[in-house]
């Protein structure tokens, strides 16, 4: 039973970390850092800062209407209907991932607290080996991204948007110039590297505590 609980920690820990780093993507500082880095940004015909900020506000539940204009003064929706429907689906997926991560926080916290109080050796065992299962998954996914990003990008959308009839392939209009393929490649690297670093720090901290 304790080994099963350890596996639960190993599964949910990277989910929590990856959701945390993915949440940083939907912040104004991250979007500002990416501004002008990609060739497609030269094709943007709308107020880059305003549209990016309103999309972030929508994903973070600070607004419910996606029919905003190209500028703060414009009342005509800047996005096409297909783009609006896609972003509505994205927020549903985003909400689901955040809920899973929140559940993971409580599961990890409860299990580790139980181990720490009842079986200190199991506590250190769980943290000592927390890296291997996620590492195998991350290495596999990371290698897949490097070899065939388009395929994993397609697979990701087919997996997470299977519940909707709305198309996730979009015309080159608002969203794709703002968030091109290169943006997602860089962001995936940021999430993966950040997750690996935190897990390594966890293992090192556990080693010190176990001494």
pLDDT in tens, 32-41: 999 999 999 9
Q: Is residue 15 part of a domain?
A: yes
The rounded distance, in Å, linking the Cα atoms of 204 and 11 is 19
From 100, 98, 102, 101, select the one nearest 90 (Cα to Cα).
Answer: 98
Closest Cα to residue 44, out of 181, 182, 176?
A: 176
The pLDDT value recorded for residue 114 is 94
Q: Decide if 24 is inside a domain.
A: yes
pLDDT, residue 103, reads: 94
Q: In this structure, is residue 101 part of a structural domain?
A: yes
* DSSP letter, residue 36: T
pLDDT for 166 equals 76
In a domain, 200, yes or no: yes
Residue ranges making up the domain that contains 165: 2-42+90-210
User: Is residue 165 a part of any domain in this protein?
Assistant: yes
State the 10-residue block means of pLDDT for the chain, 211 residues long: 88 90 92 93 95 96 94 94 93 90 94 92 90 75 71 73 75 94 88 88 87 69
Q: Given this model, what pLDDT does residue 150 score?
A: 73
| Residue 192 resides in a domain | yes
What is the pLDDT, as a whole number, of residue 42? Answer: 94
Q: In whole angstroms, what is the distance from residue 15 CA to residue 20 CA?
A: 8
Cα–Cα distance list, 149 to 142, 143, 154 (Å): 9, 9, 9
Q: What is the pLDDT of residue 158?
A: 73
pLDDT for position 60: 94
Q: How many domains does the chain have?
A: 1
Q: Is residue 38 part of a domain?
A: yes
205 in a domain, yes or no?
A: yes
Chain-centroid distance of CA 189 in Å reads 11
Sign, Cα dihedral of 172, 175, 178, 181: negative
């Amino acid at each position: 039973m304790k080994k099963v609980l350890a596996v639960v920690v190993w599964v949910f820990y990277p989910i929590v970390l990856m959701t945390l780093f993915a949440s940083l993507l939907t912040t104004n500082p991250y979007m500002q850092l990416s501004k002008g880095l990609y060739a497609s940004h030269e094709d943007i015909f709308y107020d880059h800062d305003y549209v990016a900020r309103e999309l972030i506000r929508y994903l973070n539940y600070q607004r419910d209407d996606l029919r905003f204009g190209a500028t703060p003064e414009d009342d005509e929706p800047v996005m096409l209907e297909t783009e609006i429907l896609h972003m509505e689906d994205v927020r549903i997926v985003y909400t689901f991932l955040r809920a899973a991560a929140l559940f993971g926080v409580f599961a990890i916290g409860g299990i580790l607290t139980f181990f720490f109080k009842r079986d200190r050796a199991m506590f250190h065992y769980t943290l000592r080996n927390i890296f291997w299962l996620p590492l195998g998954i991350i290495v596999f996914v990371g290698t897949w991204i490097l070899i065939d990003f388009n395929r994993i990008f397609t697979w990701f959308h087919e997996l997470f948007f299977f519940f909707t009839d709305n198309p996730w392939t979009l015309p080159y209009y608002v969203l794709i110039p703002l968030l091109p393929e290169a943006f997602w490649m860089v962001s995936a690297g940021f999430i993966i590297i950040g997750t690996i670093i935190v897990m390594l720090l966890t293992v090192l901290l556990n080693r010190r505590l176990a001494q």
